Amino acid sequence: MSGVPALSDAAATLCSKCGTEIAGGILACPGCLTLIHSEQLKRLGQQAADASRVADRDAELTAWNRALTLLPVGSRQHETVSRRIAALSSRIEPTPTPQPQSRVWKWIIGLGPAGVFLWKMKFLAVALLTNGKVLLLGLTKASTLFSMLLAFGVYWTAWGMWFALGLVLSIYVHEMGHVVALRRYGIAATAPMFVPGLGAFIRLRQASLPPSQNARVGLAGPAWGLGAASAAWAMSKLGAGPMWAAIAHTGAWINIFNLLPVWQLDGNRGFSALGRLPRWSIGAAFGIAWFTTGDGLLALLAIAASVRALDPAAPDESDVGVWAEFLLLIAGLVILMRLSPGTRP
């Protein structure tokens, strides 16, 4: 996923206080430093305060994120709101855990790692179903639909119609995971655009995100991609044919590749909220996965994570929630690759 800030094309206006002409897109008057969107900022601040009083974290984050886009970068207000967003994003929400005495849980534990993996898939399935409307929304955009059809045609020529369809849909679900995560934080983003051979991307309408928020948005893609690959694997187990296992294996491989912590890949976004020790542990997790599977990609991931662990610019504090999610994604994707052996294109 790549993010590109949107440019404003608003017409020039006059400052209501000093009468200075203000070019479109300017957020503060150059003459008297008055904030151009002061009234809207007051409303958003009130919305955030109301949400805070009722402990509605998502609504509060949405209000502050919208306010951030209306504040000049480098201003005191921008720094204050950025710190508030970072604090809200770093809060760890409690995850419900099954009761040990539950018969279902005992049965799942009896299946070993595969059983725990299936339990985790339950929560991914719920996420996909509850966001079904948003998932379909991207298909209403002409740019997404046409680029998707182009990618489908290219992959069809190479690997056949049904495998191409499964691959394109898997990539689409991955990208919509990013879109849903961004919407949760009140940040606008474009629908996915497909580039045959390179996957797909979306563009952010905000220049930058706080580290914890950036990490969660980045990891949302592989999390949704894991759900899509798991659905393909389930289809293969229900008798739909070995092609679905190949789609599941390929989808899992693509999503674990996206966890590579470099450039604009999702793993790099995940690393933005992690200090050195968590980065070392993720490198170790990739190393263990490589040892158990023999897949050379995992060796590359282990090396890249270890190199990034040496980065002096790594933050001093880590987001424990992001760290746990990163490790769960590695485990889930690797288990799925083992459960659905197949030949990647």
Residues in the chain predicted with pLDDT less than 50, given as ranges, are 1-11, 92-101, 105, 107-109, 111-114, 116-117, 123
Give the model's pLDDT for residue 129: 53
Question: Does residue 25 come out as left (phi exceeding 0), alpha (psi in the -120 to 50 range) or beta?
Answer: left
Helix (H) or strand (E) holding 276: helix 276-293
β-pair partners for 193: 201
Domains of the chain by residue range: 27-89, 103-339
Q: Cite the beta strand spans of 1-45 per DSSP E.
A: 13-14, 21-22
**CA angle centred on 27, ends 25 and 28, rounded to 5°:** 135
Q: What letter represents residue 205's amino acid?
A: R
Nearest alpha carbon to residue 1 among 267, 209, 252, 206: 267
Instruction: Give me the count of residues in the chain.
Output: 345
Nearest alpha carbon to residue 37 among 79, 82, 84, 77: 77
Give the model's pLDDT for residue 22: 63
Angle between helices 103-110 and 113-130 (to 10 degrees): 120
The CA distance from 50 to 54, in Å, is 7
| pLDDT tens profile 41-63 | 888 888 888 888 887 777 787 78
Q: What burial letters (b/e) apply to 196-219, b meaning 16+ CB within 10 Å? A: beebbbbbbebeebbbbbbbbbbb
β-pair partners for 13: 22
Give the model's pLDDT for residue 137: 66
Report yes or no: 293 and 338 within 8 Å, Cβ to Cβ.
yes
Give the model's pLDDT for residue 270: 96
Give the model's pLDDT for residue 248: 94
Give the sign of the dihedral formed by CA 339, CA 330, CA 169, CA 254. Answer: negative
Backbone angles phi, psi at 263, to 5 degrees: 50, -135
3-state SS, residue 160: coil
Class of domain 27-89: mainly alpha
Give the model's pLDDT for residue 26: 67
CB-facing half-sphere around the CA of 211: CA atoms within 13 A: 19
3-state SS, residue 43: helix
Per-residue tokens: 258? 């996206």
> 72 CB contacts (<8 Å, ≥6 apart)?
27, 28, 35, 78
